[in-house]
Chain A
Amino acid sequence: MSAQPTIRLAVPESVAAGEVIEIKVMIQHAMESGYRRGALGERIPRDIIKFFRCSQEGKTIFAAEFHPGVAANPLLTFHMRAERSGTLDFVWTDQAGQRWSKQAELRVT
């Protein structure tokens, strides 16, 4: 897996205040469970994302914890009530503490 994995976000560009919107995020990651064995019988070490957090100006909107057994390239769908405009910050943290993030602008009218 490359150092900066591909991240895809689906966030509505502009929404009415108070509206409940759907947000979808996907990150490229092997989510190697640690239970699989390679062609030579060797154990493939666990390599998974542990946490995901979506926040707006420091306020957590949605957070999730991942476990071994989650499929590769995890997709999350969640909802939020759009109250004010501002940057949404999406952060994934793996088991070693490495972080990957991407931002999207939310415009509330």
Chain B
Amino acid sequence: MRLLNLAAVWLGSLAIVAPVYAGTMSSSHEQPISGYHFLTPQTRALQDDAFANPGYLWVAAGAEDYEKKQGTGSCMSCHGENGLVGVATRFPRFDEKAQTLLNLEGRINVCRTEHQKLPALAYESQELLALSSFVAEQSRGMRTQVSVTGGAQPWFRAGEDYFFQRRGQLNLACQQCHDQSWGKMLRGDRLSQGQPNAFPAYRLEWQTLGSLHRRLQNCETGVRAEPQALGSQAYLGLELYLVWRAQGLALESPGVRR
């Protein structure tokens, strides 16, 4: 019964606000707007303050891990001190050698297993979050430039399909909330365009830093759909579509979100 009530609240709030803005929204990939612009001034200030932004705790931990000798050598022994500046803008990326799409987390794990001869880090583990936010932060303020052709193309198509597919008991697609309804209120939240450029990000609701895939799981449980696994093929394809759709936006990681 509680589930049904919740569903009614979500649907109800969408229905109430829908007519007000209907037809005035442009497709968000034509003019992407960062989730930053939908935040309260306080939350923006927290993201902008490089000390108060709690995400920098993970960046600092990642910087230490990066220099630490592990397995056959530290990350830094191969990549140098500033060797990964700008790299996060190119992910997710089709890897010819692995013949698969790798996001930043996946790429870091390939270096762990192939180069450092260490076991892969679990998705959403503190260590992987630290390394991925450290690498992402090195591209803060830069724009993404992902390729969606060649080996990446089928992943991109699958991600695009996923974005438009209605899911869950509420039967809503990503697109209905983040393309058609951004700017409207949904319960306590102002709907953004669902851009990925802040991640890994510190969510106040989580009280911790988390990956984009964790955020996607939250959106899926929000519509009472079965979430995909972190790092799953479905989310990798979706991530590629989201990053392509966000082109023109600067990376903000570590972002701060509600």
Q: Which residues of A contact B (CB under 8 A)?
A: 1-2, 6, 8, 10, 24, 26, 28, 30-31, 71-73, 75
Cross-chain contact A28 with B61 (CB below 8 angstroms): yes
Chain B residues within an 8 Å CB radius of A26: 51-52, 54, 57
Chain A residues within an 8 Å CB radius of B60: 6, 8
Chain B residue, CB-CB nearest to A71: B207
For this complex, 7 residue pairs linking A to B, each with C-beta atoms less than 8 Å apart, are A8-B60, A10-B51, A26-B57, A71-B204, A72-B54, A72-B207, A72-B208
B-side interface residues, number (CB < 8 Å): 13
CA distance A24 to B126 in the complex (A): 24
CA distance A6 to B129 in the complex (A): 13
Report the minimal beta-carbon distance from A63 to chain B, rounded to whole angstroms. Answer: 21
Chain A residues within an 8 Å CB radius of B57: 6, 8, 26, 28, 73
Chain A residues within an 8 Å CB radius of B52: 24, 26, 75
Mark interface residues in B53-68 (1 if CB within 8 Å of A CB, else 0): 0101110110010000
Chain B residue, CB-CB nearest to A10: B51
Chain B residues within an 8 Å CB radius of A75: 51-52, 54
B residues 80-136 near A (Cβ < 8 Å) are: 126
Partner of A6, one of B58, B207, B208: B58
Mark interface residues in B27-41 (1 if CB within 8 Å of A CB, else 0): 000000000000000
Chain A residues within an 8 Å CB radius of B204: 71
CA distance A101 to B94 in the complex (A): 43
Partner of B51, one of A2, A8, A28, A31: A8
Chain B residues within an 8 Å CB radius of A31: 207
**Supplied contacts A8-B57, A73-B54, 16 more A-B pairs, CB within 8 Å:** A2-B126, A6-B60, A6-B61, A8-B51, A8-B56, A10-B51, A24-B52, A26-B52, A26-B54, A26-B57, A28-B61, A30-B207, A72-B208, A73-B57, A75-B51, A75-B52
